[in-house]
Amino acid sequence: MRRRGVFVWFIIVLIQISGVCWPEIITKRDKNGALVISNTAGYESTGKSVKSTKKSSSNTIPQQYLDKIKQLSGKYGIKESLIIAVAKVESNFNPYAVSHKGAVGLMQLMRGTANDYGVKDRYNAEQNLDAGIRHLKYLYEKYSYDLPLTLAAYNAGQEAVEKYRGVPPYKETIRYIRRVMEHMGLTYSGYFQSGQRSKIYKYVTRDGRVIITDTLPSKIDGTIIALD
């Protein structure tokens, strides 16, 4: 058993140094006891070997998820681009993704958040998407359509946003905000210190108009810079 464990870690290290970027590496045993190392649960096991039945691409979003997002976007009144960007950064559209903090699924729901929205199975893609989108909408409205604050609360929690009265000075959270907004074609360059909140934004639209505001518009199609 010890030799097999060393072998498993050796394979994982090889995967990591090969340059392949996967959001999750899943190691598990199937019902036949066969060891499976995968970045997706889309496999079948014969008990002797594993063969892939699901093609995966880091740049391709499964059509069924796009269709569901379009439906829920209209239902809850929140932009498709925001939902897609959050799901992309959270899980890369892997419904079986699990974070080191225990967040699960496409929208990376923690157990408490899932319970708040009546989710029975966090690995169920439709339930996960529906709850994640509803939570995103709740935060978006709570923070008066302030996109960076919304994303900060989604990533770090509302308590952290309240504690720092703005985007918390966590490198992970600031990086998260930037990544999501980049997927939306936006730029975030705000810097927040403990106990401070930047309330003023310079918003540059794609047609070159410059807007100075303390509340970002709900529909954004330009570049955002948080002013100190």
Could you write out the DSSP letters of every residue in 142-184? Answer: HTTT-HHHHHHHHHH-HHHHHHHTSS---HHHHHHHHHHHHHT
- Of the candidates 24, 90, 172, 182, the residue annotated as catalytic is 90
Q: Amino acid letter at 126?
A: E
Q: State how far the Cα of 83 lies from the Cα of 11, in Å rounded to an integer.
A: 34
What predicted TM-score, i.e. pTM, was given to this entire model?
0.61
Worst-scoring range by mean pLDDT, 15-19, 45-49, 71-75, 180-184? 45-49
Instruction: Summarize pLDDT for 87-130 with one digit per residue, the tens.
Output: 999 999 999 999 999 999 999 999 999 999 999 999 999 999 99
Q: Please give the structure tokens belonging to residue 201.
A: 């934004």
Instruction: Summarize pLDDT for 32-57 with one digit per residue, the tens.
Output: 444 444 544 443 333 333 333 333 33
Q: Please give the structure tokens belonging to residue 197.
A: 């909140």
Instruction: Summarize pLDDT for 48-82 with one digit per residue, the tens.
Output: 333 333 333 346 899 999 999 999 999 999 999 99
Q: State how far the Cα of 193 lies from the Cα of 216, in Å rounded to an integer.
A: 20
Fold of 63-186: Lysozyme (1.10.530)
Who contacts 16 (Cβ-Cβ below 8 Å, separation ≥6)? 25
User: Could you state, in order of their start, the residue ranges of all structural domains in the chain?
Assistant: 2-52, 63-186
Confidence of residue 207 (pLDDT cuts 50, 70, 90): confident
Mean pLDDT of the region 127-151: 96
The yes-or-no answer on residue 90 being catalytic is: yes
